[in-house]
Chains A and B, each alone.
Chain A
Amino acid sequence: MFEAKLIQGAILKKILDAIKDLVNEASWDCSSQGMSLQAMDTSHVSLVAVQMKADGFDKYRCDRSVTLGMNLSSLSKILKCAGNDDTITLKAPDDGDKITLVFEAKNESETSEYEVKLMNLDSEYLGIPDTPYSVNVKMPSHKFQRICRDLQQIGDAVTISCAKDSIRFAAKGDLGSGTVNLCQTASADKPEDSVSISMQEPIIQSFALKYLNHFAKATPLSPQVSLSLSPDVPLVVEYSITDDDGSDFGYIRYYLAPKIDE
């Protein structure tokens, strides 16, 4: 039996909003450690990895590991039926072919129950090397979202370069070009507004903005986003997931293969 209860059901709604347009179908791997998912987009250019730790749930029971394969747009449609303040409980019997979602409104006697069909998916699990990166940048997530959205008006790709204590995002296209330069800040009063840059070596790499704009749909999950870059390896865009009390619940990490000069 698998059962996971989340009083702040809105977190699960936000997670689905952040992945459903990138990945159609994926499997949740549920173990005593928590729920995790890894999936590539259909063109195999990007990869998303989600982790929700067991102790972040308000109740978590997983008698034996289960893989819950599902259509994410179906799951997202069902989660739209839950209110932002609802408690969400996921339930799956050991050998069932569906998952049950129970939504309970706060301070009300209303409970709704939905079922989503499970699928057997041939998902390939990719090994992600745990390597240090040349550049790590932490910045406000809304700022990253805005830069990606603005630069997509100019071109299809963004060139990210980092030197000393600044990071530069640049795009060019038929209409002209645009650049956004961010310098490291020291705003200790408001850590969520700060930009911090840690650089081992300067870097310059280009990425498709279409995917970065998909990743930015995770913005409501976290006030800060972390970008990790190294020469000729995929970019990592990470949003940590915290609950209202600020406790660490897990993360969404997106990996994006670079564009290379032919």
Chain B
Amino acid sequence: MSQKTITSFFKPA
């Protein structure tokens, strides 16, 4: 299993 990063879901506001 690979770990996604949070920045692949949430973008800079």
Contacts and interface: CB of A to CB of B under 8 A. Distances in A.
A257 B5 contact: yes
Contacts of B2: 259-260, 262
Interface in A205-262: 206, 208, 233-234, 255-262
Interface string B1-13: 1111111111111
A188 interface: no
A195 to B, nearest CB: 27
A44 B1 contact: no
B13 A40 contact: no
Nearest to B8: A257
Contacts of A129: 10
B9 to A, nearest CB: 5
Contacts of B13: 125-127
Contacts of B8: 257
A47 B11 CA distance: 12
Contacts of A234: 6, 9-10
A124 interface: yes
Contacts of A206: 1
A161 to B, nearest CB: 15
A129 B6 CA distance: 13
Contact of A126 (B1, B4, B7): B7
Contacts of B4: 45, 257-260
A260 B1 contact: yes
A196 interface: no
B1 A257 contact: no
A196 B12 CA distance: 33
B3 A126 contact: no
Contacts of A256: 6
A157 interface: yes
Interface of B: 1-13
27 contacts: A44-B5, A44-B7, A45-B4, A45-B5, A125-B13, A126-B6, A126-B7, A126-B11, A126-B13, A127-B11, A127-B12, A129-B10, A157-B1, A206-B1, A208-B3, A234-B9, A234-B10, A255-B6, A256-B6, A257-B8, A257-B9, A258-B4, A259-B1, A259-B4, A260-B1, A260-B2, A262-B2
Interface of A: 40, 43-47, 124-129, 157, 206, 208, 233-234, 255-262
Given A44-B7, A127-B11, A260-B3, 9 more contacts: A40-B6, A47-B10, A126-B12, A233-B9, A234-B9, A255-B10, A257-B3, A257-B4, A257-B9
